[in-house]
Amino acid sequence: MEDKRRNLSEIQSVIKQYLPGLNPEVVREEPCLYTNTPDSHFIIDQLPGYQNAVVAGGFSGHGFKFAPVVGNMIRQIVLDGTVSDSQKLFSFSRFQKEE
């Protein structure tokens, strides 16, 4: 708990120094969520049963590096309504049990 308070104090000091008009008091804290899929690949696909919803997730803290290509893949799904063969790696269907 002491480390947490020290870290918060350090952050507030930086805010006071570089953003003097900003109130450095904490309004709300949220834990960092580390999301990952069972196969460690992203999900970038239409939400099953909803043609007007696209899901992109499971980026496990490093998805920001892929933002341009992920954005392009989402654009392709939304605007073109298509999913390329290379995008199928990121589909929900890979988790469906084969019968």
Three-state SS letters, 48-79: CCCCCCEEEECCCCCHHHHHHHHHHHHHHHHH
Residues in the chain where the model's pLDDT stays below 70? 1, 98-99
0.75 exceeded by pTM? no
- Count CA within 13 A, CB hemisphere, residue 81: 3
What is residue 15's predicted lDDT score, i.e. its pLDDT?
93
Q: Are 35 and 58 in contact (CB under 8 A)?
A: yes
Rg (CA), the chain: 20
Joined tokens for residue 14:
């930086």
